[in-house]
Amino acid sequence: MTQSNCWKDDTQYNFVELVDGLNHYLRLRTTPVGMKRFHKASDLDQIHRLRRPPVGEKFATDQIVGQSRWLGYTLGITMENLVGSQCGAVVGLHPRDEEFLSGNAFNGVWYGDLISSSKHQHEMSCASYGEYEALVTSPLTSGRIDNPDICLIYGTPGQMITLMNGLQYRNYKKYTFTCVGESACADSWGNALKTGEPSLSIPCYAERKFGGVQDDEMLLAIPPSFLPAIIEGLTALSRTGLRYPIPNHGLDKSPMASMAQSYGS
């Protein structure tokens, strides 16, 4: 029986089939990652072949996700495995306490005054604190964490707009995304864990320096319930000739011939 995620979703998704669909239509470089939180640290003992960080070694959440994405690891962490409150607060493992909101840590580094630094901390979208003690990341196709809270999909801007077109094919909705700046994981997995909505971000300096995010990549964090509709939409778009990679038509040639293929004459 599939264990429900934080959205009380216990649907038995075929993640191998869903990821195959994403790769077929988008040609992703790496396998999407599942992220799931657990109420008790002891729950980690039930996960098959789970890796834990070496005792005393601290990581950024970006690195935990990166190891699952690039190396295929299933990793379990608690707050004591993270470098500090900035990483923990985004995923709900640390409170947004007075020190966190003060902005002291970023003042004079990322922001030129304490007011700006503190405002940044207040603007970060973070999961609620107090319900979970542990977090696991794993390749979405591994089956190690059952039904994740959110799925993390990395891709180029061209892949991401094609994915969003697939999502919006039916039950259209306009999506608005944020840019908090540094700590952009708050725009992606932080916001998705907080709201349950698709959350697209421009990964920040730390995600690229420590998490292995490539220079041309964006990140979409999304609950798994959205994935079937995305594949359905991508399939429909493909039938009309709207596919990735997007071929360049040419700057000095009328677009009419290309448009006719999708819109008709």
Band the pLDDT of 2: cuts 50, 70, 90: confident
Q: d(Cα 213, Cα 234) in Å, to the nearest integer? A: 25
Higher pLDDT, 260 or 10: 10
Q: Which long-range contacts (CB under 8 A, 24 or more apart) does 228-232 make?
A: 228/13, 228/18, 229/166, 229/167, 229/169, 229/170, 229/171, 230/22, 230/163, 230/166, 230/167, 231/18, 231/21, 231/22, 231/25, 231/166, 232/166, 232/169, 232/170
Beta carbons of 197 and 191 less than 8 angstroms apart: yes
Q: What is the pLDDT of residues 11-49, one digit of tens each?
A: 999 999 999 999 999 999 999 999 999 999 999 999 999
Please tell me the predicted confidence (pLDDT) of residue 265. 56
What percentage of the chain carries pLDDT values higher than 70?
Answer: 99
CA-based torsion, 142, 91, 2, 197: positive or negative: negative
CA-based torsion, 212, 46, 37, 231: positive or negative: positive
pTM of the model: 0.96
- SS3 labels along 122-135: HHCCCCCCCCCCEE
The mean per-residue pLDDT over the stretch 154-158 comes to 98
Question: Residue ranges of the domains in the chain?
Answer: 15-247
Beta carbons of 180 and 202 less than 8 angstroms apart: no
CA-based torsion, 239, 34, 146, 168: positive or negative: negative
Q: What is the pLDDT of residues 159-208, one digit of tens each?
A: 999 999 999 999 999 999 999 999 999 999 999 999 999 999 999 999 99
Vertex 151, ends 123 and 30: CA angle to 5°?
A: 115
